[in-house]
Amino acid sequence: MLLRLSHVPMNRWFRIAKLDGPKEDCNRLLDLGFTPGEEVLVTHTAPLGDPLVIHVRGALLALRKREAAWIWVQ
């Protein structure tokens, strides 16, 4: 079952299945390390829920929910 990274529970590991969004934005996400097969963890959210702090490849990165919705995980 695939879920959008923007809708997964916090503090649980997921594996990236695919990226599905605007090509330029997905290329930026790939450059940041959000590649299929990589494990990711949502560690924090801002008080109003946007942005999300995501642990990927040993780094913590902040993504807008809009961007996280382009990352499909299982």
Residue-wise pLDDT tens digits, 25-73: 999 999 999 999 999 999 999 888 889 999 999 999 999 999 999 999 9
- From the options 3.40.50.280, 2.30.30.90, 3.30.230.10, 1.20.140.10, give the CATH code of 3-73: 2.30.30.90
Q: Global pTM?
A: 0.92
Which residue from 37, 54, 36 is spatially nearest to 45, judged by alpha carbons? 54
- Tokens for 27, please give them: 């290329």
Tokens representing 59 are: 């780094």
Check residue 49 and give its pLDDT. Answer: 81
Provide the pLDDT for residue 5. Answer: 95
Tokens of 71: 């990352």
Domain ranges of the chain: 3-73
